[in-house]
């Protein structure tokens, strides 16, 4: 209850013009980045990360929250207008939005997307505010062996969630773990893999890994796909002018979609968000499938049914609230965005984990207030005020855009230590991530391996030291046993049962 009151009181911070400026600017940047195909809100956050050194941590976290929320809904703009989702989370929106656009109802589709995003975003954020303190209390019961099993669970789930690509995902996670071991050992003062370099003895900083993985590698990928991007830009030129009044969905249309659809989709999105590695695209997909399954008129889906847009967008925005649960309560990020938010905390000397909600409630509450504010006010307001100009905005010259991004990324990595070594590390990480992506390796598992690696090593060594090397301690302790069973359940459903079903359906067809 105290925490909820703190969140409510934190809305007052938004009256400060500086804070409001960063929250609104963050939202606009997040919307633009997620609207441009190829760019993501993750990239926007990665570029913002160096600036958090100079920014007040509360303001930085609030700006992160608004970028996160914007990132989930901005992708619907190009998904609807040219059938190319700006962000992966808007994939299902394209299925219904584009047919609506073709029959001249594109703005209305965007209005439905906005409304669904608003409902889902608020639902997810409020549920987070209500449930996070309870989960944080429960997380205090998890001991050393349990923490080790939990991190292992998160890593395994993130890897097996990359369906069809599990081995590559596991390799990328191993690379992340390997990078995390560079530098001084946490328990014994021994430098590992530093090759006599003083800079490496301190370990690899999180910032070059994030900027390299998400900004530099994106720059390289975009350059490799330059011709395709030019084609998309040409396609955008043909989009008809959007009028502001066409955005607003009628009350009867919203009633036809039904409160149950919004609520069910938001709940699906929230639950999916709590799982490591699932993300907005999975949330949107499951909610869409559920909407089709329970609809009285399933044949209308795929032909421009606003219910499909409402389901997908409510779910992907509700993911924001869900994804912050494991990060805030256990210090375990489930996706790149929450990993960067965790980076902001670490940069400012705040250790995420079970104690965070208790000891740093004053920092977390404003972030959640910004999340609710972004969903409730900024999503509809941005769509209404800037909607007619979106197409012009996303047609921004690519050379100007990427010239600016390159400058922000490389100079940004200099900010932390005023050393060009970090810039070099950013380039190395960017090059590695680019080639990994080019060969089908999901770099998100590399980042999460790097972030979770130190914790995994520390708890594993502690658990085995305390038990005199007895591995059975992981099954005799109830907390670790719980997470081991949970891991096995996920492996069964995602790795064993799924291929069996696919095999069965193939032979049936």
Q: Using CB under 8 A, list all residues that contact other proteins.
A: 51, 53-55, 167-168, 170-171, 174-175, 177-178, 181, 185, 187-188, 190, 192-193, 216, 219-220, 222-224, 226, 397-400, 402-404, 406-408, 410-411, 414-415, 418, 420, 423-424, 427, 430-431, 434-435, 438-439, 456-457, 460-461, 464-465, 468-469
Closer of 414 and 490 to other proteins (Cβ): 414
Please identify, using beta-carbon distances, which residue of 121 and 430 lies nearer to other proteins. 430
Is residue 43 within 8 Å of 215, Cβ to Cβ?
Answer: yes
CB closer to other proteins, 113 vs 204: 204
H runs (alpha helix) in 251-389: 251-257, 259-274, 279-294, 306-330, 336-347, 356-359, 361-373, 379-386
Closest distance to other proteins from the beta carbon of 152 (Å): 12
Count CA atoms closer than 13 A to 168's CA, side-chain side: 15
Closest distance between other proteins and the C-beta of residue 498, in Å?
21
Measured in degrees and rounded to the nearest 5, phi and psi for residue 184 equal -65, 140
DSSP class of 185 = -
Distances, alpha carbon 103 to alpha carbons 97, 217, 235, 237, in Å: 10, 38, 17, 18
Q: At what angle do helices 306-330 and 57-73 cross, to 10 degrees?
A: 150
- Considering beta carbons, is residue 152 or 379 the nearer one to other proteins? 152
Least distance to other proteins, CB of residue 458, Å: 9
Q: Which is nearer to other proteins, 182 or 494 (CB)?
A: 182
Q: How far is the CB of 148 from other proteins (least distance, A)?
A: 11
Q: Name which of 302 and 440 has its Cβ closer to other proteins.
A: 440
User: Contact 209/450 with Cβ under 8 angstroms?
Assistant: yes
336-347 and 57-73 are packed helices; what angle lies between their axes, rounded to 10 degrees? 170
Return the number of the residue (373 or 459) whose C-beta is nearest other proteins: 459
Q: Counting runs of H as helices and runs of E as strands, what totals does the chain give?
A: 28, 2
Closest separation in Å from C-beta 165 to other proteins: 11
φ, ψ (nearest 5 deg) of residue 192? -115, 135
Give the nearer residue to other proteins in terms of CB position, either 102 or 465.
465
CA–CA distances in Å: residue 125 to residues 117, 269, 321, 378, 425: 12, 11, 5, 14, 36
Least distance CB 32 / other proteins (angstroms): 16
Q: Classify 191 as helix, strand or coil.
A: strand
Residue 56: phi and psi, rounded to 5, are: -60, 135
Least spacing, CB of residue 173 vs other proteins, in Å: 9
User: Is the Cβ of residue 381 or residue 473 nearer to other proteins in the bound state?
Assistant: 473
- CA–CA dist 112, 8 (Å, integer): 28
Token pair for residue 470? 């007895």
Q: Which is nearer to other proteins, 163 or 303 (CB)?
A: 163
Give the three-class secondary structure for 36: coil
Give the shortest CB-412-to-other proteins separation in angstroms: 8
- Minimum distance from residue 74 beta carbon to other proteins (Å): 22
For residue 435, the minimal CB distance to other proteins (Å) is: 6
Q: For other proteins, which is the closer residue by CB, 220 or 386?
A: 220
CA distances from 41 to 44, 61, 215, 229, 482 (A): 5, 15, 11, 18, 34
What minimum distance in Å lies between the beta carbon of 171 and other proteins? 5
Distance (Å, rounded) from C-alpha 159 to C-alpha 449? Answer: 10
């Amino acid at each position: 209850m105290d925490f909820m009151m703190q969140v409510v009181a934190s809305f007052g911070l938004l009256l400060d013009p500086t804070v409001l400026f960063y929250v609104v600017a963050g939202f606009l940047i997040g919307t633009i980045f997620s609207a441009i195909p190829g760019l993501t809100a993750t990239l926007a956050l990665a570029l913002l990360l160096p600036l958090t050194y100079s920014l007040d941590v509360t303001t930085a976290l609030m700006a992160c929250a608004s970028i996160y929320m914007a990132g989930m809904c901005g992708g619907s703009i190009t998904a609807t207008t040219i059938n190319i989702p700006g962000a992966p989370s808007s994939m299902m929106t394209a299925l219904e939005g584009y047919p609506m656009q073709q029959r001249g109802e594109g703005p209305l589709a965007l209005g439905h997307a906005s409304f669904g995003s608003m409902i889902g975003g608020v639902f997810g954020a409020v549920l987070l505010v209500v449930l996070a303190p309870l989960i944080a209390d429960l997380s205090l019961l998890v001991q050393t062996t349990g923490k080790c099993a939990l991190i292992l669970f998160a890593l395994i789930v993130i890897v097996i969630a990359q369906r069809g690509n599990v081995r590559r995902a596991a390799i990328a996670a191993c690379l992340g773990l390997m990078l995390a071991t560079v530098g001084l050992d946490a328990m014994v003062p021994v430098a590992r893999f530093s090759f006599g370099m003083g800079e490496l003895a301190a370990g690899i900083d999180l910032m070059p890994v994030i900027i390299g993985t998400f900004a530099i590698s994106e720059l390289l990928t975009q350059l490799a796909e330059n011709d395709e991007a030019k084609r998309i830009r040409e396609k955008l030129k043909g989009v008809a002018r959007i009028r502001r009044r066409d955005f607003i969905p009628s009350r009867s249309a919203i009633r036809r979609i039904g409160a149950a659809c919004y609520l069910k989709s938001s709940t699906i999105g929230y639950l999916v968000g709590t799982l490591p590695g699932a993300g907005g695209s999975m949330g949107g997909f499951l909610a869409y499938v559920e909407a089709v399954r329970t609809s009285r008129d399933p044949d209308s889906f795929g032909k421009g049914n606003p219910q499909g847009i409402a389901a997908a967008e409510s779910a992907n925005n509700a993911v924001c609230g869900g994804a912050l649960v494991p990060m805030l309560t256990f210090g375990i990020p489930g996706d790149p965005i929450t990993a960067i938010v965790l980076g902001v905390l670490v940069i400012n000397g705040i250790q995420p984990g079970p104690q965070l909600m208790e000891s740093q409630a004053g920092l977390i509450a404003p972030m959640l207030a910004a999340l609710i504010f972004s969903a409730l006010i900024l999503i509809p307001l941005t769509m209404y005020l800037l909607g007619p100009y979106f197409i012009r905005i996303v047609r921004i010259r690519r050379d100007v855009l990427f010239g600016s991004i390159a400058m922000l990324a490389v100079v940004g990595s200099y900010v932390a230590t005023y050393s060009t070594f970090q810039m070099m590390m950013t380039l190395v990480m960017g090059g590695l991530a680019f080639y990994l992506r080019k060969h089908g390796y999901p770099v998100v598992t590399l980042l999460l391996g790097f972030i979770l690696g130190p914790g995994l090593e520390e708890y594993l060594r502690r658990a085995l030291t305390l038990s005199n090397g007895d591995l059975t301690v992981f099954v005799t302790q109830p907390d670790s046993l719980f997470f081991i069973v949970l891991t096995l359940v996920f492996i069964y459903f995602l790795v064993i049962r799924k291929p069996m079903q696919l095999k069965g359906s193939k032979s049936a067809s």
